[in-house]
A and B are shown apart, each in its own frame.
Chain A
Amino acid sequence: MKYRLNVGDEIPDLQVLKSENPGLLRFIASDREHDVSFKVLGANHYQLTVNGKSTEAFVVSDHQGKHVVIKGRSFFVQDADKLPQRRAGTGRTEDFPGDVTPPMPAVVVRIMVKEGDRVKKGQGLVVVTAMKMETTLAAPRDGRVKKINTSLQAKVAPGDILVEIEEETHD
Chain B
Amino acid sequence: MATAHSECRIHHIRSPLCVLCASVVKNGETKMFKKVLIANRGEIALRIIRTCQEMGIVAVAAYSEADALSLHVLEADEAVFLGESEPSESYLNIEKLVAAAKSTGAEAVHPGYGFLAENPDFAQACEVSGLTFIGPPSKVIRDLGSKTVARRIMTSAGVPVIPGMLDAGTDMDDLFREAERIGYPVLVKAVAGGGGKGMRIVSRQEDFKEACLSAMSEAEKAFGNGAVYLEKRLESPRHVEFQILADYQGHVVHLFERECSIQRRHQKIIEETPSPALTPSLREAMGRAAVSAAKASGYVNAGTVEFLLDPSGRFYFLEVNTRLQVEHPITEMTTGLDLVRQQMQIAAGSPLTFTQEQVVPRGHALECRIYAEDPENRFFPSPGLVLLHREPSGPGVRNDCGIYEGFRIPVEYDPIISKLVVWAGDREAAIRRMIRALEHYAVAGVRTTIPFLIDVLNSPEFVQGGTHTGFIDRHFARWTQNKEDADLARFAYVIDELSSPGKAAAGLRAAGLPAPWQTLGGWSL
Contacts and interface: CB of A to CB of B under 8 A. Distances in A.
B507 interface: yes
Interface residues of A, number: 59
A62 interface: yes
Interface stretch (B27-35, B382-390, B470-478): B382-390
A44 B388 contact: yes
B486 interface: yes
Given A50-B488, A50-B491, A71 B439 contact: yes
Contacts of A107: 411
A68 B388 CA distance: 10
A133 B387 contact: no
B279 interface: no
B18 interface: no
B454 to A, nearest CB: 6
Given A48-B495, A59-B492, A107-B411, A70 B520 contact: no
B28 to A, nearest CB: 46
B442 interface: yes
B377 A85 contact: no
Given A8-B483, A8-B486, A48-B488, A68 B493 contact: yes
B381 A72 contact: no
B443 interface: yes
A167 B441 CA distance: 46
A152 interface: no
Given A73-B451, A81-B511, A46 B496 contact: yes
A135 B380 contact: yes
Contact of A17 (B388, B487, B492, B523): B523
B13 interface: no
B156 to A, nearest CB: 36
A18 B523 contact: yes
A8 to B, nearest CB: 6
A72 B383 contact: no
A36 interface: yes
Contacts of A79: 493, 507, 511
A85 B443 CA distance: 27
Contacts of B220: none
A72 B522 CA distance: 35
B411 A67 contact: no
Interface in A39-60: 40, 44, 46, 48, 50, 55, 57-60
Nearest to A158: B384
A15 B517 CA distance: 12
A26 B523 contact: yes
Sorted nearest first, the 8 A-B pairs with minimum C-beta distance are A67-B444, A131-B381, A75-B489, A17-B523, A18-B524, A59-B496, A68-B489, A57-B492
14 contacts: A5-B493, A19-B522, A25-B491, A46-B496, A50-B491, A58-B444, A60-B387, A69-B444, A72-B450, A79-B511, A81-B513, A104-B380, A104-B447, A132-B381
Given A57-B492, A131-B373, A131-B412, 18 more contacts: A5-B493, A5-B494, A7-B489, A7-B490, A14-B494, A15-B525, A25-B494, A25-B498, A48-B495, A61-B496, A70-B485, A72-B440, A75-B489, A82-B511, A103-B380, A104-B381, A106-B411, A131-B383
Interface of A: 1, 3, 5, 7-8, 10, 14-20, 25-27, 29, 34, 36, 38, 40, 44, 46, 48, 50, 55, 57-62, 66-75, 77, 79, 81-82, 85, 103-107, 130-133, 135, 155, 157
